Chain A
Amino acid sequence: MTVETQSSGTRLSTGELRDRVRDLVVLWRDRFDFEPVSDSWLRSYDPAFTKALAERGLIGMTWPRQYGGGEYRNVDRLAVTEELLRAGAPVSAHWIADRQIGPAILRHGSPELRESILPGITRGDYLFCLGLSEPEAGSDLAAARTFAQRVDGGWTITGRKIWTSGAHFATHCYVLARTEKSDKKHVGLSEFVVDMTTPGIDVTPIVDLAGEHHFNETAFDDVFVPEGNLIGVEGRGWSQVIEQLSFERGGPERVLSTYPLLARMLERSDRIRELGLQREIGVLVARLATLRRLCWDVAQRMDSGESTVVEAATLKMLGNTFERDVVAVARDVLGGPGSAPDSYYGQALLATPGFSLRGGAADVLLSIIAKQEAKL
Chain B
Amino acid sequence: MSDETAALRELVTDLAANHEAPQAGDLPEAWANVTELGLHGIGVAEEAGGSGGTLAHLAVIVDALGEVAIGVPIIEVATARWVLAHSDSGIDAQLPIVVLADEAEPSGVLTGVPWGRSADLLIVYTTSGPPRAYWMSDPSITVTTGVNLAGEQSDSIDLGAATGHDLPWAPTASEVRARLGLLWASALTGAMRGAYTKSRDHVRTREQFGAPLIKIPAVASAVATFRTHLLLAEAAVARAVETLAGEKGSDVLDSVASARIVAAAGATEATRLAHQLHGAMGVTHEDGLYRLTTRLWAWQDAETSERDWAIHLGDKAIERGEDAVWSELTHAF
Contact = CB atoms under 8 A, between A and B. Distances in A.
Interface of A: 18, 79, 82, 86, 262-263, 266-269, 272-273, 277-283, 285-297, 310-311, 313-314, 317-318, 363, 365-370, 373-374, 376
Nearest to A277: B314
Contact of A366 (B225, B309, B311, B315): B225
Nearest to B309: A282
Nearest to A272: B318
Given A278-B315, A285-B314, A310-B227, A267 B321 contact: yes
B312 A282 contact: yes
Contacts, number: 141
Interface stretch (B12-20, B67-75, B150-158, B322-330): B322-330
A100 B229 CA distance: 27
Interface in B209-264: 214, 217, 220-221, 223-225, 227-229, 231-232, 235-236, 238-239, 254-255, 257-259, 261-262
Nearest to B215: A374
A266 B319 CA distance: 9
A374 B326 contact: no
Given A286-B262, A290-B235, A294-B235, A279 B318 contact: no
23 contacts: A86-B326, A263-B322, A266-B322, A267-B321, A277-B314, A279-B314, A281-B317, A282-B257, A282-B309, A282-B314, A285-B325, A289-B239, A292-B330, A293-B235, A293-B239, A365-B224, A366-B224, A367-B220, A368-B224, A369-B228, A370-B224, A373-B227, A374-B223
A279 B310 contact: yes
B265 interface: yes
A376 B228 CA distance: 16
A267 B225 CA distance: 33
Interface of B: 200, 204, 214, 217, 220-221, 223-225, 227-229, 231-232, 235-236, 238-239, 254-255, 257-259, 261-262, 265, 307, 309-315, 317-319, 321-322, 325-326, 329-330, 333
A290 B231 CA distance: 10
Contacts of A266: 317-318, 321-322, 325
B311 A294 contact: no
A269 B318 contact: yes
B227 A281 contact: no
A168 to B, nearest CB: 34
